[in-house]
Structures are given as structure tokens and as C-alpha cells.
Amino acid sequence: MIPDYLSLDIPESDKPRLVIVGGGFAGLELARNLKNGPYQVVLFDRNNYHTFQPLLYQVATSGLEPDSIAGPLRKVFDGFRDFYFRMVKVESIDYQGKTINTPIGKLSYHFLVLACGSETNFFGLEEVKRKAFPLKKVVHALNLRSHILQNFEKAVLTADPLNHQRLMNLVIVGGGPTGVEVAGALGELKLHVLPRDFPDLDFSDMKVFLVEGESRLLGAMGVEAATNAKKYLEQYGTEVILDTVVTGYDGQTVFMNNHQSIESHTLIWAAGVHGNMVDGLPHLVVEKSRILVNEFNQVENVPSIFAIGDIALMKNQDAPKGHPMVAQVAIQQGRMLAKNLKAVLQGKSMQSFKYKDLGSMATVGRKKAVVEFPNGLKFGGFFAWLLWMFIHLISLIGFRNKLVTFVNWVWSYFTYDKGNRLIIRRFDKEKTSPVEAG
């Protein structure tokens, strides 16, 4: 029962109502491009902020504070007319009745856009899901940061050699950009930061393992980038384990399909994502937890619903298996859909979405990165790292976040230090599953 004092409180309008679920890269770009336009826009998100996921790993490794990578949604939409933001989780859709259902009540729509992104895919490994750390939300990054710092504090107090080693070992699963970036940042902490914080610990005991199922890192990039990333990580002492799949984790021991195991209290899961589904769509339009859409991002056979970003699966000649689940696809689809939704009201035809690949990059700790452009230009090292920093800085939401992040990075560059490593809110993975905490 919904208490009668709660209501979504969206007024009627003479404009058609467009409901957007998700204020991530895709939803935000769509809503921004419909500013004071022909629709009444209602945006739902379970958080009151947009998360800049590419820098979550910096929060987890004490490089940045969480508010540097999160943009308050209400501030973004300051000055928008006939626009309503509601911090509410959308639970399901009634596509025949054209309504969405939330814990606060229902809302009807003329058009609905699903932009709810993706969540961590544990590939059915239930115990891993309960004990490993995902990295999809700000709370995940904060929990992981507390956990890592707590482990070093505990290591100082732990005489038992096995337990000590479990506290000092960190294992990352998944050698894509996220896994590589986390491993690089941990390598940097090990080399430059933690030995100063903990003079009573021997950091040659701190081991970082990166486990990847394929025969090389950074599968979406070229061989050169993969080789460079591995070389940079090994310079930090990271042990890169290729062609190996993690098959289980009981909170203390990581089991692998090569019949070996690693003792560790910390398993960071960066091995994949799948769509973050909302209930109620016909089964036929859902494939591998993503929503099948046509070239206009319109859900197959449900013309009043669109899906954009990670949740959308658009298969075409350019992308027979669908587009990569990256920010640029989400942004470009949001922008294109805004144009198409305006066209619909003007009686014009919609234009097909064409993805413009702007290139790929990944950073590996301090002063090193790998970059690839679609025209074949590729390079690694210091200039790649400078470019990586510039691109990420300009992509952050709001001038304040850009400035604070810039100051942090300059400070870190000159001092070899990181942000304040405070354990404000303790996290106990034995009491709360890291994936559910938030």
C-alpha cells in the first residue's frame, strides 16, 4: 500500500509527456537536448546524482573524493521548464497501459525512454556475488576504499602469517579498462603512498594480482595497447595472470580454473556487466539482459518505448553483436534520440543512429596510459596519460568537479601523495554483501 500522503505530483501539461528512466550518460544527454522543448519531461533516477563511472576506481583507491565524480541532477536541470526530476526507482512498466510503476505510484506517458544502464555480471557465481567487490556505484567505490584501508590497519595488528598475507593480497578479476586501471592505481599506492602511511608494514608483502580469462589484457583495444598495459603493470610488481578464469571465492581464497588459488580478503570483480532490466517488457524484446531496439533505438514492436545506452541492444551491419557498453555510445544515442523525438512531433521521419567511434584509452597508474584512435593512430606512455587526464577532466559534470579533480591530480603529481585516506564509514563484508551495500 502506498501511503496517501505520498504522490509523484506531476502536473498535467498540454505537451506530450516523455518519461526517462535513468540520469546516466544516455538519459542526461537526452534530457539536456530537450531543454524547454516540445515535451513535458519527467526524469526518474534512484539517486539524486549522475555518476561518472570511468573515475569510480579513483574513489576506490583514494585518488578522488566521491563528490568530484558525481553531478547533482537537480543542479544540471536548473532553469528547465516543464521538467520534473523524481528520486524514485522505477519498478516496472505496463507497456499496454503506457504507465510506469514506482513505490510512490504510477505515472502515464506518451513516450518512455529506458536509460537504466547496466549492473555487474557475476556469471551465476552466487558466492562470488556475495563476497566480491563490484565497482558500478559510488557506494561500491566507498566500501572498497574503506575495506582496503581497514585491511592495512588490520595487517599491522595481525601476527598470523596466513591472515597477514590475505590482508596484503588484492585480486582483481577482469583485464578490461576497469581492471587495468584499478590494478595500476593499486600499484601506485603500493609504490608511492602506503609505505609512508604504514612504516610498520613491509610492502614487498603487498601483492596485486590481475586475472584475465583471455590471452591478453584490454581485449577491445589492439595488441600494442595490451602489451604496453601489461608491461606498465608489471613495472609496479602486479602479477598478470592470463588465460585463467576465477571459478569461486569464499571470502578468503580465490579459486581459479588452472587449479591454483590465491589467499586474499579482497576480490574486486571487474569481469563484465549486463543490462539493468526493468520488469514488464515482452520477453521477446530482451536478449542477454539488454533490450532489442531498431535503428532509432525504438523497442521492437513497442513504438512508444525507446531504450538507449548500455541497456539497449542495437544490432546492425556496423555492430552485428551490438555496440560496446561505453559512455560515448550512450551519449550519442541520447543526443540522436532527442532529435528524433522532436522530429516525430513535427511529422518528420526519424534518422538512423550511427555510432562515431572517438577512440579508446586506459590509464595505468602514474604517468602511463594507452590510447588508440579509429584512424589507426596509437601511442602509450606520458603523452597518452596527459591526453587521458584532459579528456576525463572535460567530461566531468560541472566546473566545480573539474576544478577539484584538476587540483587533486596536480597535487598528486607533484607530491606523489593521494587524497586523504580516511576510514569514515567502516565496511564489513562479513556482515553486508558488497554488491547489496547500496
Ligand X SMILES: Cc1cc2nc3c(=O)[nH]c(=O)nc-3n(C[C@H](O)[C@H](O)[C@H](O)COP(=O)(O)OP(=O)(O)OC[C@H]3O[C@@H](n4cnc5c(N)ncnc54)[C@H](O)[C@@H]3O)c2cc1C
Residues 282 and 294 sit within 8 Å (Cβ to Cβ): no
Nearer to ligand X, 57 or 111 (CB): 57
48 interacts with ligand X by CB under 6 A? no
330 touches ligand X by CB under 6 A: yes
Q: Which DSSP letter does residue 37 get? A: S
**Candidates 190-198, 241-249, 307-315, 338-346; binding stretch for ligand X (CB under 6 A):** 307-315
Provide, rounded to whole angstroms, the least separation between the CB of residue 293 and ligand X: 12
With H, G, I as helix, E, B as strand and everything else as coil, classify residue 191.
helix
Examine residue 117 and tell whether it contacts ligand X (CB under 6 A). yes
Task: Provide the 10 A C-beta neighbour count for residue 401.
Answer: 20
Interface with ligand X includes 24 (CB under 6 A)?
yes
Tell which one of 34, 116, 225, 256 touches ligand X (CB under 6 A).
Answer: 116
Cα–Cα distance, 340 to 334 (Å, whole number): 10
Rounded to whole angstroms, the Cα distance separating 144 from 93 reads 33
- Which one of 26, 34, 148, 155 is in contact with ligand X (CB under 6 A)? 26
CB atoms within 10 A of CB 317: 5
Binding flag, residue 328, ligand X (CB under 6 A): yes
- Of 144 and 149, the one with the shorter C-beta distance to ligand X is 144
> Closest distance between ligand X and the C-beta of residue 51, in Å?
6
State yes or no: residue 136 binds ligand X (CB under 6 A).
Answer: yes
Beta bridge partners of 290: 287
The least CB distance from residue 61 to ligand X, in Å, is 12
Binding range to ligand X, per CB under 6 A, among 44-52, 197-205, 284-292, 415-423? 44-52
C-alpha closest to that of 225 among 189, 177, 188, 270: 177
User: Does 188 participate in binding ligand X (rule CB under 6 A)?
Assistant: no
Cell digits of residue 350: 526519424
Q: Which lies closer to ligand X via its Cβ, residue 167 or residue 268?
A: 268
Q: Which residue type does 65 have? A: E
Site size toward ligand X (CB under 6 A) is: 34
By CB under 6 A, name the one of 35, 36, 46, 220 that touches ligand X.
46
Q: Which is nearer to ligand X, 358 or 404 (CB)?
A: 358
Quick check: 219 and 189 in contact, CB under 8 A?
Answer: no
Closest residue to ligand X in the complex (CB): 24
By CB under 6 A, residue 281 contacts ligand X: no
| By CB under 6 A, residue 138 contacts ligand X | no
Is position 178 an interface residue for ligand X (rule: CB under 6 A)?
yes
**Which residues ranging from 71 to 100 are in contact with ligand X (CB under 6 A)?**
89-90
Asked if residue 23 binds ligand X (CB under 6 A), the reply is yes
Q: Using the minimum distance from each CB to ligand X, give the nearer residue, 240 or 312.
A: 312
DSSP calls for 69-127: SEEEHHHHTTT-TTEEEEE----EEETTTTEEEETTEEEE-SEEEE---EEE--TT-HH
Q: Kindly report the three-state secondary structure assignment for every residue of 226-248.
A: HHHHHHHHHHCCCEEECCCCEEE
Counting contacts by CB under 6 A, is residue 135 touching ligand X?
Answer: yes
CB of 306 to ligand X, least distance (A): 12
Binding residue for ligand X, selected from 8, 10, 15, 47, defined by CB under 6 A? 47
- Min separation Cβ 299 and ligand X, Å: 15
Beta carbon nearer to ligand X, 42 or 167 = 42
C-beta closer to ligand X: residue 121 or 408? 121
DSSP 431: T
Pairing of strands 83-87, 92-94: unpaired
Packing angle between helix 223-235 and helix 177-188, nearest 10 degrees?
20
Query: What is the SS3 assignment for 167?
Result: helix
C-alpha span between 118 and 99 (Å, rounded): 22
Burial of 398 (0-12, 13-18, 19+ CB in 10 A): middle
Which of 107, 268, 327, 397 touches ligand X by CB under 6 A? Answer: 327
Q: Which residues pair with 43 in a beta bridge?
A: 20, 85
Residue (187 or 275) nearer to ligand X, CB: 275
By CB under 6 A, name the binding residues for ligand X.
21-27, 44-47, 53-54, 56-57, 89-90, 115-117, 135-136, 177-178, 276, 278, 309-311, 325-328, 330
